[in-house]
Amino acid sequence: MQLKHIRFRIPLVFALLPLFGALVEAQNPRADPLVAIEGLGLVQGSIGYSAWTARPFNQFFNIKYAVAPIGPLRFLAPVRVSPWPGVMNASTPGRPCPQLGRLADVSLVEDCLSLSVFTHNTTDSRPVMVFIHGGGFSEGGASDYGPEYLLEKDIVLVVIQYRLGPLGFLSTGTANIPGNAGMLDMIMALEWVSQNIRFFGGDSSQVTVFGESAGGAAISALLYSPLVRETLFSRAIIQSGSIFSPWATCRSPKEGAIDIARRVGCDRPAESMEDCLRSVPAVSLMQAYNDHRIAQFNITSYADVAGACIVIGEASPFMPKHPKTFARNAISHVELIAGTTSQEGLLFWEAVYRYGLSYDPANMKTSWELFQLVETINDRFGSMSHDGSSTWYQLFNSYLTTEIDRANFTELLPALVDICGNLAIKAPVMQDVVRFAYANTDKVYLYSFDYSGTPSMYNFSASQDFQYPYPNSVFHAEDLFYLFPLGQRLNQQDTEMAKLMVELWTSFATRGVPTAPELTHSWDPVTHFNGPYLKINSQCENRNNYFNEFTASIDKARNDRSAATPRCVLSTSVLIVLTVFIKTIIA
């Protein structure tokens, strides 16, 4: 008899808790918000304010969606979190998942599978935007991406965390360490949003996922995975990343896992090797991965680096086959924005310059040396053709014959940047765009971000041995400066750009069509394999041929070589953000 009473009272309590939380908020809207998540428990948040109008919003940090993936759970699919007693404190940002770049402020605690929610009204039903951070699948965290810009609008923002590096992506090709654990974390976080975002004022039928770099590649992968329910999200924004990027997927995951295991003293037969890897301290595993990626990239290419990339096939069910084999009728029905920054290749050329060459290319004197350099770039990006056809095409599509004859490194540099950017980002993103535009007529939008503002990552190296002397360059990830407050200061023109970006992204999340009062014309959807697209700048333009973006650096340099003077060293805040990308680009 007593058991029956207990079974009745527990669901009754959860049914009344949302009402209690709403009453508290109504009586004192500036009090720390309290939300009851049915079937899980109470979370206590705090109050934040938007950047431009000081609009108050509720913020809930570090809400756990899965249990700590430690011990026997390391490397495996996440396990859903159980109900918790009392009130979970979600008032301050939590720690990111283990990563080498943050040894100073975290002790590499693996209990990191959490998400943060930002909302104006917990009783409303507003469009939801879920952000997946980048960082080469090996760095980053939810606390890096604040809501102060996007929460100027009537949306609910969710920022998720997932396992990074070998903890999230190592694969031995067996059921014990199958790979793609980080991708399964993302799916579980999205399932959590689908089930629980209503308690935070979000509409689970209007979910837009968006992400940049590795986050963009992750969203690209989610669009093709058979494990992702079609109702998890209906819109997506891919920024500077794709599953077609050579750094996003693993060509030799098992061989890489063996190399990483050897570096941590786990070089032994398969089963005992896996047991050993589950017991290795996270910091040792991360360091071994870092050493592996630098060494492997120097020897072969991005595609042969393992431990922080998506595994195709093998023992993981996430991606049984590569999306390049998918037929049109297998493409998800989603509304999509996808695009790139103008000088994507600066980041990737820097990786080639530092890790992929055994000599200083600035000392080249002949066209033959240029040919060899372009061949090496193709090799490092896994696109080498033994007949040299790709190299010859890139040379004569990028350079004037007089430029090749002069073989002046500074003059040749912009094309090297373009070649790297096309191989790493631009061509792969176009693979997604063409496939989805073909299957989803009038629902796919393409852009190139070409605004070079005050918080530019232009002079991205703190040392003096690597410089890019051309102004108005727009680095990989610079579009994020105008969606999130990443510690930088915006001048008036920068702020106007941020307001434009926020308007475009949130209007798409709300209505499926990106619009903004600042646009003098509509942003037209993709109708053919190369456009149209929106060139986002102080004055936005609708352009028809995105292939012109494949020579963006060359065109800028030729138009304004006289302005080729190095800029100031980056501010500390920009360098911190940049470190997330510089250290992980060859992952």
Active site residues: 213
Residue 360, Cβ density class (10 Å: 0-12 exposed, 13-18 middle, ≥19 buried): exposed
Backbone φ and ψ for 458, nearest 5 degrees, come out as: -55, -55
Distance linking the first and last C-alpha atoms of the chain: 59
| Cα–Cα distance, 539 to 520 (Å, whole number) | 9
Residue of 495, 483, 539, 534 lying closest to 513 (CA atoms): 534
- Which residue type, as a one-letter code, is found at position 24? V
Q: Is 432 helix (H, G, I), strand (E, B) or coil?
A: helix
- Which residue type, as a one-letter code, is found at position 27? Q
Q: Are 247 and 351 in contact (CB under 8 A)?
A: no
Q: Are 513 and 473 in contact (CB under 8 A)?
A: no
Angle between helices 572-582 and 345-355 in degrees, nearest 10: 70
| Cα–Cα distance, 318 to 226 (Å, whole number) | 7
Contacts for 5 with CB less than 8 Å, ≥ 6 apart: none
Secondary element (H or E) of residue 89: strand 87-89
Q: Is 339 helix (H, G, I), strand (E, B) or coil?
A: strand
Residue 44 CA to its chain's centroid (Å): 28
Contacts for 125 with CB less than 8 Å, ≥ 6 apart: 198, 201, 202, 203
Report helix, strand and coil shares of the chain as percent, to nearest 5. Answer: 45, 15, 40
Residue of 328, 137, 146, 332 lying closest to 224 (CA atoms): 332
| Cα–Cα distance, 52 to 338 (Å, whole number) | 27
Q: Are 227 and 187 in contact (CB under 8 A)?
A: yes
Residue 583 token pair: 């250290």
Residue 326 CA to its chain's centroid (Å): 23
- Which residue type, as a one-letter code, is found at position 153? K
Residue of 120, 126, 139 lying closest to 55 (CA atoms): 120
529-556 b/e (C-beta count within 10 Å ≥ 16 → b): ebbbbbbbbeebeebeebeebbbbbbeb
